[in-house]
Structure formats: C-alpha cells, structure tokens
Structure 1
C-alpha cells in the first residue's frame, strides 16, 4: 500500500526530470510511492527503487497527423485518470505536478477531496505561460485555476514569487502555501568555459523569455565590434512570435546557430559545454527556471533578469550578470559587462557557485520537506473558505 501517489502527464524535458527526481528522493527517504506517469525519456531517468510502485501511462505523440495525436492524448488522459482513481482504494495522499488539462483534472480532484484524500499540488506557474482560451473566454480559464487552487489541500510553490502571485491573483491564503525549492539537476563535473563568445538561449521558445530582444542585443553587440554568437535551442511554442525572431536572425545569420525542436537529453551536456553563459531574459515570470538550475550546477554562468526564481538563485550565489530590464539595450549591456571580465574568472566563480547551489538544493533535504508536510495532520473535508 503506497503512502503517496504522484500523478503527472510529463515524461521528457526538465519538468519530467523534476517529477522523476522527486519520486526517487521520496522513495529513498523511506516513503512508498505510487508513480503514475508515462515512461521516462530517456528511460534511465525512471525512478527505479523498491519503494516505487510504477503505473505507466501511454505517452502523447509529438509528431504525426492531428487526429492521431489527439487520440493518443485522450488515451493518456483517460488511462491516467483511471489509474489515479483506482489508487484511491489504498492511498490517501496525492501529489499532482503538471497534471492533465483542467477539464479532466477538476472533476478528479473534487472526487478525491470528497473521498477524504489529501491533495498536494506542486505549482510550477501560478498563471500559464500562454492561456489556452481566447481573451473573451479568459475569465472561464481563470475561474478554473481559482477552483484548482481551492480544491488542493496544500499548494507547494517552488519560489517565493509563485507564492506571492497566488496570493495576489487568486487570493490564496498564506497558511495553504508551502515553499519548497526546485531540486538540483546534475550533469557531471563543471568544465572550463570555452571563451569563444558563444551564448546559449535554451528551452522552449516563448514570448516571456524575450528571445526577440536577446537577438536584437546580439546584433547591437556585433555592430559595436563584439564578436558574439547566439545558439537558440528548443521547441517553438508560438509560431507567430518565432517569425518575428526569424526576421531579425536573417539580418546576420552567421551570428546565430538555430537548433529548433526538442533537445534530447544526451545532447544537452555538449550544448552547455560549447557555451560561455546561458541567457534567460524572462519577463512576467514567477516560477523557477529549470534551465538556470541546470546551468548553475554545470558550472555555467547565467545572464538573466531577476524575475521569479532567478532572483532567489542569484541570492543563493549563482554566477552571472543580471539584466536590468529585458529590452535590447539592457541585455546588450549585460553581455558587454560579462565579457569585460576575464573568462577564467567566470569559470572559477561558476564552479564554486555550482557546488554551493547544489548543496542548498539537495534532493534528500527537499524530500524531507515534502514528507514533513505530508505527515502533518490536516482536515480531510473541503472547507467552505478553502
């Protein structure tokens, strides 16, 4: 009989890695965990531990005809919901971390709460990066999120900024919020920085990462005689926005290395090793950046705004330059400040910072925080003012 059930739709990339690490750490800490999720990619990320009871959900399809992809998604959703419902027969505590669409998740959570289950929702983002419904239906989506946060017994936030956003935008009470940081992603020992003027924008390509402004900043630096080059690696989530970016790239194509699409895990170490720093010019951002955590642990400086969890990573000692405002001039200024300092100094600084951050984001300590929260007494019914 599993003490905890963790349910998620994720199976690849940083979000899935977070969930896989969390399950493995909880199991290592002595908890029995039922893990409901698609099979990990790569499969060696699977949390193989005697305390893990594995329930595999079909993966979604990322390529192929739209009808086939929709059918595959429906199979994933229905299988995951069924397995989670069946798990209620033996488990009382459920963790949801990036669950299925709200249309399906809300009825499931209502049933679980009415049955006396305890629900911990890991809030990666208080508000979505991109709303699913058109603007004239935005209030419906907002209401669904409001209900989601009320149905959860506890909301686990990865950053202070996320907790503040939940209070500000959704009036969530402070006693319902617990801040537990994002654990460390380790790829191996830090290598010296190459120092060839290569910067990296890594992860899904979205408007709130200010990719367009980063491209403009690179063009400004090159016009000023700085021989910078930018690698853009990740999946395009907003095609209209990417077309804006492409029009700028076309001005100096030799300054950009485009690697569009999902980046397999085995390619990530080489991508980082060829870069002097990772650029994260976030705006309107309250969550934690898994890319920043990954870069910091790999001994790579981060040139970033102090938005969301990035501010907390800088407070923990992450090496890098801060961007005052995600506009081309300020981003270019941060690039110039970065390269005005000897690359050997950055390399030494980032290596020490990576060790420090790794010790503060240790998964064993994080699992202990989750277990203390899970094992403290709580009410089982849905309170009127949840």
Structure 2
C-alpha cells in the first residue's frame, strides 16, 4: 500500500499550516501533489519534487528557477523519509531566504505525522486480529485450533497458556466509549493477553494466569480499571487451562455480571466463584416449567413494616442462622426474631429453620432480586 494517501497528505498540510502562515504542499513518490493549502494544485505534477526524489536531497527554488519548472513555485522542497526510504516530498512556499529556518521543522512534522499514522494503523490492525481471535475462541461454532494458534502466532501470542476471561460491560454503548475503554485497558494488560470486542459490544480480555492466586493477582488491575472507567461493570470467569475452556470462562464472567450486579450493584466487579451458587440456582429455577412455583415469596413483600420480614430473611441467610448474631444485626430482641421467623413460615409455608425450606426461600428471593 502507498505510504502517503491523499487524506494523510492533507492532514500533514493542515497540521503544519496551523503552525506556519505559509502554504504547504505534499507530493507522493511520483512527484504528484496530493495535499496542498491551495486546492487547485492537487494532482499537478511538481518538477521540484521529481528532482528531490531523484537526488534524495532538498532543493531551493527561487523565482527564476520556478519559471522554468512545471508545477513549481518559489520555496523549499524536502524529502519525506520513512523506514530509511523516501516516500514523498514536502514543500513550503515562499522566498527561500525567508523560510529556510522553517524548512526542517516542516519536514520533521511531516515525518512525525506519517510515523504516527503508521503506528496507529499497526495498532488498529493488531486490535482487529485480536478481536477476530477472541470472538472465535468464545464462539459456539467449532474451533479451528491450528488456525487460531497460527493467527495468534503472528502477534507473538501463545494460546496454550492458561487464561481467565474478563468481561467489561459499559453502561453507555457508543463507538467512542468502546475505543476509550480499549485504550485504557491496553496500558493495563500484558503483551501476552488478548483483548477484543464482541458483536454485542462487550469488551473481553483473555488474561494469562499463572495459578490459583489469579484472583488476588487481578485485584490491583481491577481496582485501577474501576477507578479509571466510569460506568463499567466487570466480571471474570474461572481459569481456563486450555483453548476449549475459554468459552465457558467467558459465559461465567457474563453470568457473574448479570447476577452480581443485581445482588450487589455497588460492587462493580463480580468474580464467578463468588456467585457460583446464585448463578446455578437461578439457572435451575428459570428452567422450572411452573412459573408460580416460587410466588410464595411475594407474601413477604406485602407484609411487615418497612419490609422487616424480608430484612429478617436476608439477615438469617447472611448470618447462617445464628440467632444472636441475627438479632444483633437487626437491633431486635431474640423473641422478636422468633416471632418474625414464625410469621415467615405462616405466610410462605416455608420455615427458614428447615434447611430445605431455607433453600427454597433463598431461590425465591434470588429470582425476585434478579428479575
């Protein structure tokens, strides 16, 4: 592909003309003007540029010399170099004696814009390849492991390493938001990690992990991300030891966000292991054909002062049924607690002091909380 495009050449022109009150021209490797402060000169052949391309050196053109050259005006023309080769020419219009102090500045600016454009294109290419790999790894379609390993190899990434899926879900889905988050994450992850955007605008990081302490190792990273990224919820799945387990880790992370954000909306980060029971119970309950099977929980919502029965059940679950701790956390007497437990049993037909009934109460509460 050509190093200098019309768009890039005009970008160089506009940037340099904002600094200098002089007309700037950019010529390609054929000597054709492809960027200029004077739009009428676009696509004209510039003899001065041809000389620069031929000799590899800058040239000064005065009035008398310009009159003999096609497409040239008084000024200085300099080679634009990239990767040790001349890829074009940049010219600054004016009397050479008056503008020679600016000539090298213009050349440096042109080469800097070109280098930045190349680096950006390389980063964007890498992001596209990574997103393609990530989407394949978490896809429901059959995996072509050899093809994926080969693609990842182009980026210097070894897919055989154990990885954990981290999913980031922005509250505001816009292309700018996604790109800003991607840029922020790039500074926080290692070169061996994969990052991509799914078709549902979820940002997925397949983070390399060493062992069982991965959650503890991730905490500093996650805290920085939550501090930096406003309105983003983060979930992580379990460690995937092989390529085929990555899809499972991805869906675990998604479910952790789904359940965790309903139960603890203030948390921001949700690790699947911390919500495994709730995820499993919710899935089982949602498969129940009789949708009224857990409607008994609604009896608690309609009774009691300020939801006291619901609060009592929550405290009972949190404190593991230890009556003294429950009474202390609710600032009530044990006799009041016993009365409330009996009231829950009377209204729902489920006794919290019975383990089977307590499980059903918890499932019913969980379904209500995530609905």
TM-score (norm 1): 0.25
Q: Which has the higher helix share?
A: 2
TM-score by length of 2: 0.26
Asked which structure has the greater CA Rg, the reply is 2
